[in-house]
Amino acid sequence: MTTTFSVEPGGALRGDLRVPGDKSISHRSIMFGALAEGRTRVSGFLDGEDCLATLAAFQAMGVPIERPERQTVTIEGVGLAGLRKPPAPLDMGNSGTAMRLMCGVLAGQPFDSVLVGDASLSRRPMRRVTDPLAAMGARIDTGEDGTPPLHVHGGQRLRGFLHTLTVASAQVKSALLLAGLWSDGETCVTEPAPTRDHTERMLVGFGYDLQRDGRRSCLRGGGRLVGRAVEVPADISSAAFFLVGASIAEGSDLLLRHVGMNPTRTGAIDILRLMGAAIEVLDEREIGGEPVADLRVRSAPLQGIRIPQELVPLAIDEFPALFVAAACAEGETVLAGAEELRVKESDRIQVMADGLSALGVRCEVRPDGIRIHGQAAFESGTIASHGDHRVAMSFAMAALRASGPIVIEDCDNVATSFPGFAGLAADAGLGIRVL
């Protein structure tokens, strides 16, 4: 049996809440804490299945990690030379972030290892990271189609390399920088457009010498990381569902606390504001090297827009929710240059288009984007989420502007990024039931 969401139509979102910790930062806090010398204490850790898979992988490689209380992790780092061969394949579950970044970590180890994942992750392309790692001297075997399982051959001598990425990808960039920790010479990565920079910030926070010049980041192998305290802010990708829900539901007034406002992650806020959303940024501050703020969002009439190209990589994970906002906006919304959406947990362009069509929304799919025609309300319907957590949560919010109930199937993987989503959404006013 799989989890199903049944959401009653209408309502508004109100209250004062904090969504779970940032998934990207939680993954990296485990990785850097494990590779550092000394103790790292992580607060605000996302206790979701994706991040717990990363935690379990490092435990399997001999890193002492404890969870003394909810959302708190203590790591006794083993240093860059301290990982041990795992006794079995490392299961990354549903997490593309974990698998791709682990390629960079494992490429420089003296032992062989195998990375596996669930059915969804096992269909996702990995050559975008294994090919540039091979240019550094790594040996990673993929499946016939470039998909997992991945067999990482240990004992390879890695060379520093100058990489110019052709596709903006924080995961690929991060994997290469991680491999650079064990490489001879300098590793530099230049990206075509800004992507989330949590890896770069965390390297510096853990005491590693990283040089940044615009879109270029460089480091030399042979350094050391030093354990530290990490405070994980609330995940802006999880906050995005509530930003959209409150924007489209008349009478909504919602305060979201302690949201991470890294400038490489705020594209969703910029896009919603261009559409006319009423979002206030309050009490801006910096916590552990990451900008944080409280967000107040109230309902507002939205207008369709052509989404600026420069904002696409800054909102890549939030587009399922933004598609729901676009469907409620007056006029047309056009997205282009987002082919990356087709290789996420699902083909998010096609899966979202199919779901919107099932609710009566007219849209046209393109290879790298979509055109969505806004309308007053969604029809009632049943949505196939294809096991994609962001698709499931996006359509749950759509019920706020629906004429009848919306049923969303195959919602198990919501727990990968947002454990407790249904309860928190219900407390805010969404008429959601878990079946």
One-letter amino acid for residue 152 of the chain: V
- From the list 50, 118, 317, 410, the catalytic residue is 317
* Distance of alpha carbon 69 from alpha carbon 139, whole angstroms: 39
C-beta neighbour count of 214 within 10 angstroms: 8
Q: By three-state DSSP, how is residue 200 classified?
A: helix
Q: Tokens in use for 390?
A: 């962001």
The C-alpha atoms of residue 380 and residue 402 are separated, in whole angstroms, by 6
Among 402, 404, 422, smallest CA distance to 412 is for: 422
Please confirm, yes or no, whether 317 is among the known catalytic residues.
Answer: yes
Q: Which residues have a Cβ under 8 Å from the Cβ of 318 and sit 6 or more positions away?
A: 236, 237, 240, 267, 268
Q: Which of 220, 155, 134, 133 is nearest to 181 (CA)?
A: 220
Contact 25, 14 (CB under 8 A): no
The answer to whether 366 and 342 have CB atoms below 8 angstroms apart is no
Pairing status of strand 381-384 against strand 210-213: unpaired
Specify the 3-state DSSP secondary structure of 210.
strand
User: Please, which residues have CB within 8 angstroms of residue 105's CB and are 6 or more apart in sequence?
Assistant: 31, 35, 83, 178, 179
Query: Between 348-358 and 389-398, two packed helices, what is the crossing angle to 10 degrees?
Result: 30
d(CA 266, CA 17) in angstroms, rounded, equals 19
For the chain, what is the total number of helices (H) and then of strands (E)? 13, 23
Region label for 387, one of left (φ > 0), alpha (ψ between -120 and 50) or beta (otherwise): left
Residues 204-207: contacts with CB under 8 Å, at least 24 apart: 204/289, 205/230, 205/288, 205/289, 206/32, 206/36
**Cα–Cα dist 382/394, whole Å:** 13
> Which residue type sits at 210?
L
Task: Say if CB 385 and CB 351 are below 8 A apart.
Answer: yes
Write out the catalytic residue numbers.
Answer: 317
